Amino acid sequence: MTALERQSIMNDLGKTIAKHRKEHGLNQSQLAKELIDYNVHVKQNTVSAWESGITQPSARQLKYWIFMMYILNSLERTRSIHSET
């Protein structure tokens, strides 16, 4: 993999993180605080670096971010179903 391909992947991952964070109404600091519940201790500037493609989350950090997004999506679906009934 070339450096350019690696940077492209990091940028895509960063855009994905930002997109989902915004969909759930979180700012970068709030996302960092939410990740503490999963024993992932990062700061707002770390989330910013992920989103801008400067760095990428570790496999562990990414796993728990995905898990957190899954839970938030499930909660939103449940709320949507209950509001329709």
Annotate 17-83 with DSSP letters as a single string: HHHHHHHTT--HHHHHHHHHTTT----HHHHHHHHHTSS---HHHHHHHHHHHHHHHHHHHHHHHHH
Q: For 49-77, how does the pLDDT look when each residue is reduced to its tens digit (9 = 90+)?
A: 999 999 999 999 999 999 999 998 898 88
* Predicted local distance difference test score (pLDDT) of residue 85: 63
Distance CA 85, CA 50 (A): 39
pLDDT digits (tens, 9 = 90+) for 8-51: 877 899 999 999 999 999 999 999 999 999 999 999 999 999 99
Whole-prediction pTM: 0.81
| Cβ count within 10 A of residue 47 | 24
What span, in angstroms and rounded, lies between the C-alpha atoms of 76 and 10?
Answer: 28
